[in-house]
Amino acid sequence: MSHTSFTNAPSPAENQLPIGIDLGTTYSVVAYVDPTGRPTTVLNQSGDLLTPSAVGFEDGQVIVGKEAVKGSVLEPDAFADCFKRDMGRGRFRRQVGGHEVPPEVLNGFLLERLKQDAERRLGPIRRVVITVPAFFDETRRKATQEAGKLAGLEVLDIINEPTAAAVAFGYHQATLRGPNAPAADGERVLVYDLGGGTFDVSILEVQGRSFRTLATDGDVQLGGKDFDERLVGHLASRFLEAHGVDPRGDARDAAQLWLDAQDAKHALSERTKTTVVMFHAGVRMRLDITRAEFEELTRDLLERTQSTTAQVVKQAQLDWPQIDRVLLVGGSTRMPMVGEMLKKLAGREPDRSQSADEVVAHGAALYAAMLLGEKGDAGQPKFELVNVNSHSLGVVGLDPRTRQKVNVVLIPKNTPLPHNKVKRFQTARSNQDSVKVAVVEGESQRPEYCIALGECVVRDLPSGLPAGTPVEVEYVYAANGTLTVRARVTNARQSAAVEIHRPGARELGDLDVWRRRLCGSAIPIAAPSAQPSAGAPPADRSAVLREIDELFLRMGQALLERKLASAWERGQQAALAAAEELRSAEHEAELLEAARRSAASASEAARCDVPLAQARRTVREIQTRLRFAQLALGRECARSGFAPADLKREEGLIKKLEAQLQDG
């Protein structure tokens, strides 16, 4: 779902240039609109246009960008990239340096670096527009806003990447025509956006400064990274065939292999053949790979984008001759096979007039200029952006024939916003005392495969209502993404209304707290050994936080096997499940270690290396997850004022240490 906010636009009193940020999966870009109205990319501290969307932790500091990528070869476990894909995925956390880190925090560190780089050249920055894939749902959009908040930014709005690209394209075309030229006729532009980790395709009608989205679709789990992965797998398989060992079994060699595969992919966009040199287990291997081989390895990935593109044209109720222009966006569109495929589909050469890397950030900056009240040439109107919802909204109903629950779509995907829809249902049985309207988001007819957004309940219905009593349901979907649901039982003259709020951003705290936690120690929680002292204050706040975490951990471990009130059963069950999972993983690792020791030959033993390394990594990950589950259980019980008599000492120490933090 996508939206555009036009109300409460900030006053231009703050002396800040309009800033747009393309927060990419593999690379990010910052742009601004200069005093003449021209969008310009901001060079980062290294003098580059693009900043790798990567974060590492080294020597007590957070490393972002190119240096983080370089460091991934030396410390792969303290490195994270491609975390944009994880945004909005419930309580998902990435393992980095022995810690479980939410993707919003990793994006927060990235945005903080982008902000600092821009401020070195432009002065203080606070208000920005950030782009997201058009296929992002509202939960992922809110997570992106939370990342901006963590970085000290005020996110004026979220704009879809294809829409931003179309805005920049429209500006470019207007510039070519000149200020006094008559407005051009409208164009239907298909934006094919294949980035490092996500894929979007949208069709927009562009006329002057009016941008109307006709249809959009995409895949937030498909991008250049998946093409890299195919090449990594191919190279590793060739090495394994030749030498009996998989280079991915060593974390450092695997990280280097990823970098080499990316370089090879880039090289194959320029020439038809390249060479990769792999090194693992004391063996060096040189391997040639051709563009034709690479294209065959990734053919199905390209076909997925082709299928989605053709589907969007169909959803827009258009034929290819009615598409005036195919605009390429995203670094992965440099692969020659992308242009060749689109040329066959559209019957014309794709448009490469815009910088595939910079166009999205430029469009975001132009949109920021509008929100901040800036204008280009005098008298030019502001942008008009009309988006569509990228996911269908429905009601969970009961099929009268099968008596199975079904998703009844009220507002189909690609419906222009704002929009409202009324549909009549009926009660399922006689004498119902309430009616529940369950709201879901998704395309499947089966509600369990959709996302539950909330419910609207009409309560206290009078007795005696027959089965089949009419129930009127109305969805009011605003341009800013707000959904209001109303339900009316007309025979009873009773109704209810609710504003649906998607799962909100998590309470993530402060970025500085995360920095201290992640950089203070490579181990997330100290082992419960010596009793911490609550006497003299520790040397720094991070030490205090570690002591507090250790106390919470000890409480959680002590509470694990006890009978707890229902309020804490969920946390206890999560910890117990992790403990059981750990026992199973440790047993699997022991079996693999035994198999390696009993191997009849060195080659046979080497073949155990990869699964054994994976098993050990799994054990470490589950150990960390178990500790966090135990810590969360202890913290939840302590915060609720519950502590058995034998844990009162820990509870008292926690209070004293927290008081030290407040005093300090």
> For the segment 381-415, what is each residue's pLDDT rounded down to a tens digit?
467 788 888 888 999 988 888 888 899 999 998 88
CA distance linking residue 374 with residue 474, whole number of Å: 38
pLDDT score for 23: 95
Are β-strands 393-398 and 405-411 bridged in parallel, bridged antiparallel, or unpaired? antiparallel
Residue 111 Cα to chain centre, angstroms = 14
Same domain, 70 and 176: yes
CA distance linking residue 47 with residue 45, whole number of Å: 5
Classify residue 441 by burial, with Cβ atoms within 10 Å: 0-12, 13-18, 19+: buried
Exposed e or buried b for every residue in 395-422, given b needs 16+ CB within 10 A? bbbbeeeeeeebbbbbbbbbeebebeee
- Both tokens of 129, joined, read 């527009």
Same domain, 404 and 357: no
Is the separation of the CB atoms in 26 and 225 below 8 Å?
yes
**Which CATH number do you get for residue 44?**
3.30.420.40
DSSP codes joined into one string, 425-453: EE-SSTT-S-EEEEEEESS-SSGGGSEEE
pLDDT digits (tens, 9 = 90+) for 113-171: 999 999 999 999 999 999 999 888 778 888 899 999 999 999 998 999 999 999 999 88
Is 518 part of a structural domain of the chain? no
Mean pLDDT of the region 436-442? 88
Classify residue 535 by burial, with Cβ atoms within 10 Å: 0-12, 13-18, 19+: exposed
Classify residue 581 by burial, with Cβ atoms within 10 Å: 0-12, 13-18, 19+: middle
Query: What sign does the CA torsion over 626, 632, 635, 640 have?
Result: negative
pLDDT score for 663: 60
409 strand-pairing partners: 394
pLDDT score for 499: 78
Same domain, 202 and 328: yes
Same domain, 75 and 177: yes
Same domain, 453 and 539: no
Is the separation of the CB atoms in 284 and 253 below 8 Å?
no
Least confident of 152-161, 209-218, 466-475, 652-661: 652-661
CA distance linking residue 530 with residue 186, whole number of Å: 73
- Taking residue 144's Cβ as centre, other Cβ atoms within 10 Å add up to 26
The DSSP code for 403 is -
Is 492 part of a structural domain of the chain? yes
Same domain, 373 and 401: no
pLDDT score for 6: 34
- Both tokens of 174, joined, read 């207007």
Looking up tokens 């963590």 gives 150
> Of 458, 485, 500, which residue constitutes the final position of a domain?
500
**Which CATH number do you get for residue 431?**
2.60.34.10
Is 571 part of a structural domain of the chain? yes
Which residue range forms the structural domain that includes residue 456? 393-500
- Coil, strand or helix: which one is 291? helix
Same domain, 447 and 372: no
Q: Say what the pTM is.
A: 0.70
pLDDT score for 43: 93
Q: Which ranges of 46-160 does DSSP label H, i.e. alpha helix?
A: 66-71, 103-122, 138-150
Is 407 part of a structural domain of the chain? yes
Q: Which long-range contacts (CB under 8 A, 24 or more apart) does 170-176 make?
A: 170/206, 170/208, 170/209, 170/211, 171/39, 171/362, 171/363, 171/366, 172/353, 172/354, 174/208, 174/209
pLDDT digits (tens, 9 = 90+) for 16-61: 899 999 999 999 999 999 988 899 999 998 889 999 999 998 877 8
Is 538 part of a structural domain of the chain? yes
CA distance linking residue 133 with residue 158, whole number of Å: 10
> Of 322, 357, 386, which residue constitutes the final position of a domain?
386
Is 273 part of a structural domain of the chain? no
Is 288 part of a structural domain of the chain? no
Same domain, 337 and 409: no
pLDDT for residue 301 is more than 90: yes
- Coil, strand or helix: which one is 506? coil
Specify the amino acid at residue 238: R
Is 459 part of a structural domain of the chain? yes
CA distance linking residue 102 with residue 597, whole number of Å: 38
Same domain, 574 and 427: no
Residue 283 Cα to chain centre, angstroms = 38
Closest CA to 335 of 233, 263, 234, 266: 266
**CA-based Rg of the chain, rounded to a whole angstrom?**
28
- Coil, strand or helix: which one is 196? coil
Same domain, 54 and 102: yes
> Of 469, 500, 531, which residue constitutes the final position of a domain?
500
Are β-strands 325-329 and 187-194 bridged in parallel, bridged antiparallel, or unpaired? parallel
Catalytic residue set: 22, 84, 161, 193
Same domain, 397 and 382: no
CA angle 567, 573, 578 (to 5 degrees): 145
Looking up tokens 């030229």 gives 181
Looking up tokens 């189909």 gives 412
Same domain, 218 and 87: yes
Element (H or E) spanning 283, and its range? strand 283-290
- Please give the tally of structural domains in the chain: 3
- Taking residue 107's Cβ as centre, other Cβ atoms within 10 Å add up to 26
Using 50, 70 and 90 to split pLDDT, how confident is the model at 1?
A: very low
